[in-house]
Structure 1
């Protein structure tokens, strides 16, 4: 076929596909299902998101996946250099919906949305996307979309209640302003009537935090919030709560709008109307409105009270996962009062933009100790950053020893008074074993005393996952003791991530650790593995030989280790009668040049992996010789899933300098 004919055929196919997209509602699903499979697959990239969602079940029944359609949307939305690592149809679809829902809901825009606004800015898209969105971002500064949720978008709110499991509060709001009622109402519906159990708070207002925690797991009642609730229970709200159907006597901000429908039989189709109130009245405190979610719900819910228990009180949800960002002393004070009776809390994450003060951490430890002593605590996961010194990590572990997962970030304070010798919270339990299974420690210190780390590891015989980053020792010291402790004290270890640590003199300890272990994931990123080796190739061969003896190993990351020309040795992972079971190999940021990748490829083809291998090659200078790089990738694709991206060698120079 001549090129002109091929071009004409392609153009005609695209015209037909665009016509199907435009008139699909009239054509019907059956018309598409009746097409030959190759044509259906070509059509997928032309369909709208709602059309893909609608056709997917029927196409799946025919054995046709819509994966290419969803991936096409993601590529259209993403930067050309972005690597999309999603394997299944559902993963790709969920990512599309998760990304677009908040942008469309709040009216934000990007190039993709502007090109497809007619198909996205619709109730049908929002309702389709809501089924796949688990995290709802609450933005009080964009009130109109939230107001729509108690009016024309009421079905969307009902859908969100069923699917949202996590809520993020990104901005503070003033509880003394009437316009805040919509925000509080939406939160109440999702937290108390819905299934949301995780709360992410990114505000620095303690009274807002107190409202969010009020009645949702802790028995503590903030005095300031209690006074605010009682002072705002005006007559208007009370009349709504007592069953006023016509809104007579309501405060100006909570009057219901009469229906224009002549067939309207009463309350069920009415929608509450929030009128404005003068700033002077609001500031004077004479405006009659409430911040009590129980009263708000009866006032603002269509079919007053129908969303709850009829004429009874609304349910109270429970928060079992709490994350506080920008966590300062004021927020900690509110939390510390609530913690001793916060029995339903399973996971707590605290992040401060600056280093916590010693006194703040000690107060938190005391509150956690009270919770632990109650014997009713459900808290098993704690994440906190940034601690001012490593000793406080053990203080927290002693305070609540039942923790299963701990994540801490430590940064030594270089100013202020000298560090205190912190008393242990539970001296009698100092030597007791901990049930800890997952531990992450990220350190930003010039030097760290390794003993604090080995002491914790010896107390954690059930540890399954360990991630340590940035552990720097005094000159002349070695990380070998850390690896020896792991070999001796942590036989259950499945995942080991060591980042930004000097391991160039620890090859014997690494080999010993890998012997008879149960590791499934190993990550030595930016660990200068070959830095001081006189024979780098021979040292890497010894490491490969040790890794091959671990039958459970499926994920291996050696990123940022300056492997360069020695990368060929890694192909030996799959040589011999007992090839490695590794299915994911990360060799990104290793200054691997095209000729070196081609040699690795040829060697890997000789020692063919026994299964499909995912190979991460990002941040390597493939542009030094694009033809050779492309040839190597082409040879790898039959048996590898490749993670690659466009990269400039000028950027690689910066990466090289950072790893020198």
Structure 2
């Protein structure tokens, strides 16, 4: 076997710049010609790119290709970089690198570049770009190091982190977990964090997080839960002395059981840091247990003062069981600072739990101080509950629900008749997994929402013989302000006339019709696609169009032989995909900037013809074209020729197709 060709002199020089970058004068590197710099960027490390970026930006040179190359190196060669801006790609790199480096985790990219990345200067640089902190309570050493040895990093995180995810249970009884509680306190109460994500089934941690940062009163039942052995909670009291209180692993509550609704002032006892080694008599965590938050963290609050208490404006509970829901329910009536609430369960919520939640939300909404505008709930057992939740919080402008209707053990809840008043709803997402969806509930909400600007519907199965035509008619008649429409996994095979009518009477900016069987019942698919393209061109505001997984290029026919269902593919000519190039023809070309035709079984010859047509009908601005999961390897030469024609006109999103994998073919054809 012949050996690999030796690198050229230019490649050798570029590699040498990376290797000896620290010894070079940065100004000399920045003075390289722009064309040579573009070749150098993919060779540089993360730290080198970060150092050079300000100077290069002053010269008008983007480092996007360098950051995109790092993302490909991190994800693998099949990764399609869908971040088209320099800052977007850089933020993604930093977001992905910070957690494994902070917690000492390894992956292929980190191991290969550990020498360049495992430095305090890089951690400080990366921390400037991250907004979300992942908290692993069991990782004691990194958290203790953050508190003791890396105070500049902790101070920076206080200013940067907007949301924190609690990914492990925290045993509030054990001293070794107090480092995690202290970091939470610093980010929540001293920092700018307003969003908490609880991704663990731990109601007692949820109670600790909510205490003093949301509800303005304490329910006796919540206090009982916090004091219970089941919650492994220790209530640490502290005298109300003149020097106040500071950071605390526990809580002191002075709730008046006679006046639940009264605002209760809460103080926190001093934080004690004790490592597992200290518990066994081998202390290695050099922190005086009596040191208070102020002087220890060098924050603006002296030991004689009271630590601030942050407010949780966005709460997300990803593993929300009945007990967690009960904890939250007790806090809802005066959770006035809450703007966004997301609750998800692995199993379907019980009817009674959802109705109890709705009652708590209604109590909150009855106050003029209620600020809740975003609600995300899943998984609901019935579509009807969507309206009940909306009526409970009539100020909500964004609702996201997931619905799973099981055949057994469920019954429609007996509730009062829902309201029919106008809703201020602007964004609505409904994902349904039901044997049969009652379309009336969806259209009823749409008619009550004249201000709707964004709608995402997925997975709605109607009874046999029914059509989604009424849905599209309702949108045309009632939702004239719609700007973003995302239809996913819906049977629109008989709705082309209604789609055309909607397009002629709307001002959409984004349209997704993914896996909607658009042309399935059209006898002349080319003509039907031409009608669709003509209607799309009448929407001058449209900039994003997705027709992914719509069987645009073939017509599947099914036959049964010996009990087995066979799929017979009648591949169409290249004309179907080429019709899409006419989006940009004529005196008024479409303004579409992103076109997704992935998963459509586009053959290499079809793509080549499309590329030739697109060169004739050039888009008015650079087009981002998503071609992922189309069978390019069936004729690689033709496929690559098509890509070469498209690259001057488009930013291409590609993933390698393996025709030897029959499952890939099957998925694309479904």
Q: TM-score range by the shorter chain?
A: 0.7 to 0.9
Residues 454-469 of structure 1 mapped to structure 2, 5 A cutoff: 454-469=443-458
Q: 1:28 Cα shift?
A: 3.6
Question: Which residue of 1 is the match for residue 411 of structure 2?
Answer: 418
Q: 1:196 is paired with a residue of what secondary structure? A: coil
Kept in 2, the 8 Å contact 1:483–1:510? The answer is: yes
Q: Which whole-Å CA distance do the structure 2 matches of 1:240 and 1:344 have between them?
A: 29
Does the alignment pair 1:381 with 2:374? yes
Q: Which whole-Å CA distance do the structure 2 matches of 1:297 and 1:394 have between them?
A: 53
Q: 1:297 Cα shift?
A: 10
Question: Which residue of 2 is the match for residue 476 of structure 1?
Answer: 465
Q: 1:116 is paired with a residue of what secondary structure? A: helix
User: For each residue in 1:569-603, what CA deviation from the matched residue of structure 2 results, as whole angstroms up to 9, or x when unmatched?
Assistant: 11111122221111111100001111111121222
Kept in 2, the 8 Å contact 1:305–1:311? The answer is: no
Q: 1:645 pairs with 633, 655, 658, which one? A: 655
Question: Which residue of 1 is the match for residue 479 of structure 2?
Answer: 490
Question: Which residue of 2 is the match for residue 172 of structure 1?
Answer: 169
Residues 275-314 of structure 1 mapped to structure 2, 5 A cutoff: 275-276=275-276, 299=292, 302-303=295-296, 306-309=299-302, 311-314=304-307
Distance of aligned partners of 1:58 and 1:90 in 2 relative to their CA distance in 1, 3 Å threshold:
same
Residues 225-624 of structure 1 mapped to structure 2, 5 A cutoff: 227=227, 231-233=235-237, 274-276=274-276, 299=292, 302-303=295-296, 306-309=299-302, 311-424=304-417, 430-564=419-553, 565=572, 566-624=576-634
Question: Which residue of 1 is the match for residue 261 of structure 2?
Answer: none
Question: Which residue of 1 is the match for residue 57 of structure 2?
Answer: 60
Q: Which whole-Å CA distance do the structure 1 matches of 2:512 and 2:149 have between them?
A: 51
Question: Which residue of 2 is the match for residue 120 of structure 1?
Answer: 117
Q: 1:58 Cα shift?
A: 2.1
Kept in 2, the 8 Å contact 1:150–1:302? The answer is: no
Q: Which whole-Å CA distance do the structure 2 matches of 1:628 and 1:308 have between them?
A: 68
Question: Which residue of 2 is the match for residue 46 of structure 1?
Answer: 43
Distance of aligned partners of 1:645 and 1:652 in 2 relative to their CA distance in 1, 3 Å threshold:
farther
Question: Which residue of 1 is the match for residue 206 of structure 2?
Answer: 209
Kept in 2, the 8 Å contact 1:613–1:639? The answer is: yes
Q: 2:101 is paired with a residue of what secondary structure? A: helix
Distance of aligned partners of 1:296 and 1:341 in 2 relative to their CA distance in 1, 3 Å threshold:
farther
Question: Which residue of 1 is the match for residue 566 of structure 2?
Answer: none
Aligned alpha-carbon RMSD (Å): 2.7
Q: Which whole-Å CA distance do the structure 2 matches of 1:171 and 1:239 have between them?
A: 36
Kept in 2, the 8 Å contact 1:392–1:422? The answer is: no
User: For each residue in 1:362-403, what CA deviation from the matched residue of structure 2 results, as whole angstroms up to 9, or x when unmatched?
Assistant: 000000000001121100000000000111111101101111
User: For each residue in 1:290-324, what CA deviation from the matched residue of structure 2 results, as whole angstroms up to 9, or x when unmatched?
Assistant: xxxxx999635554774525521011111111100
Q: Which whole-Å CA distance do the structure 1 matches of 2:581 and 2:14 have between them?
A: 44
Question: Which residue of 2 is the match for residue 69 of structure 1?
Answer: 66
Question: Which residue of 1 is the match for residue 285 of structure 2?
Answer: none
Whichever structure has more helix as a proportion of its residues is 1
Q: Which whole-Å CA distance do the structure 1 matches of 2:214 and 2:290 have between them?
A: 19
Q: Which whole-Å CA distance do the structure 1 matches of 2:48 and 2:154 have between them?
A: 23
Q: Which whole-Å CA distance do the structure 2 matches of 1:452 and 1:519 have between them?
A: 24
Q: Which whole-Å CA distance do the structure 2 matches of 1:77 and 1:277 have between them?
A: 37
Quick check: 588-597 or 309-318, which moved more? 309-318
Does the alignment pair 1:101 with 2:98? yes
Q: Which whole-Å CA distance do the structure 1 matches of 2:497 and 2:12 have between them?
A: 65
Q: Which whole-Å CA distance do the structure 2 matches of 1:315 and 1:80 have between them?
A: 48
User: For each residue in 1:526-581, what CA deviation from the matched residue of structure 2 results, as whole angstroms up to 9, or x when unmatched?
Assistant: 11111111111111111111111111111111111111142111111112222111
Quick check: 528-537 or 359-368, which moved more? 528-537
Q: 1:109 is paired with a residue of what secondary structure? A: coil
Does the alignment pair 1:144 with 2:141? yes
Extract unaligned runs of 5+ from structure 2. 250-270, 282-287, 554-571
Question: Which residue of 1 is the match for residue 17 of structure 2?
Answer: 17
Kept in 2, the 8 Å contact 1:241–1:299? The answer is: no
Kept in 1, the 8 Å contact 2:578–2:606? The answer is: yes
User: For each residue in 1:109-157, what CA deviation from the matched residue of structure 2 results, as whole angstroms up to 9, or x when unmatched?
Assistant: 0111111111211111111100001000000121110001111111110
User: Could you state the TM-score of these two structures normalised by the residue count of structure 2?
Assistant: 0.86
Quick check: 347-356 or 36-45, which moved more? 36-45
Q: 1:408 is paired with a residue of what secondary structure? A: strand
Distance of aligned partners of 1:503 and 1:299 in 2 relative to their CA distance in 1, 3 Å threshold:
same
Kept in 2, the 8 Å contact 1:173–1:180? The answer is: yes
User: Could you state the TM-score of these two structures normalised by the residue count of structure 1?
Assistant: 0.87
Question: Which residue of 2 is the match for residue 266 of structure 1?
Answer: none
Question: Which residue of 2 is the match for residue 223 of structure 1?
Answer: 223
Q: Which whole-Å CA distance do the structure 1 matches of 2:661 and 2:461 have between them?
A: 27
Q: Which whole-Å CA distance do the structure 1 matches of 2:241 and 2:180 have between them?
A: 20
Distance of aligned partners of 1:659 and 1:328 in 2 relative to their CA distance in 1, 3 Å threshold:
farther
Q: 1:463 Cα shift?
A: 0.4
Kept in 2, the 8 Å contact 1:86–1:92? The answer is: yes
Kept in 2, the 8 Å contact 1:494–1:519? The answer is: yes
Q: 1:44 Cα shift?
A: 2.8
User: For each residue in 1:165-220, what CA deviation from the matched residue of structure 2 results, as whole angstroms up to 9, or x when unmatched?
Assistant: 01000011111111121111000000010001011001111111000111112113
Extract unaligned runs of 5+ from structure 1. 244-250, 252-270, 282-294
Q: 1:179 is paired with a residue of what secondary structure? A: helix
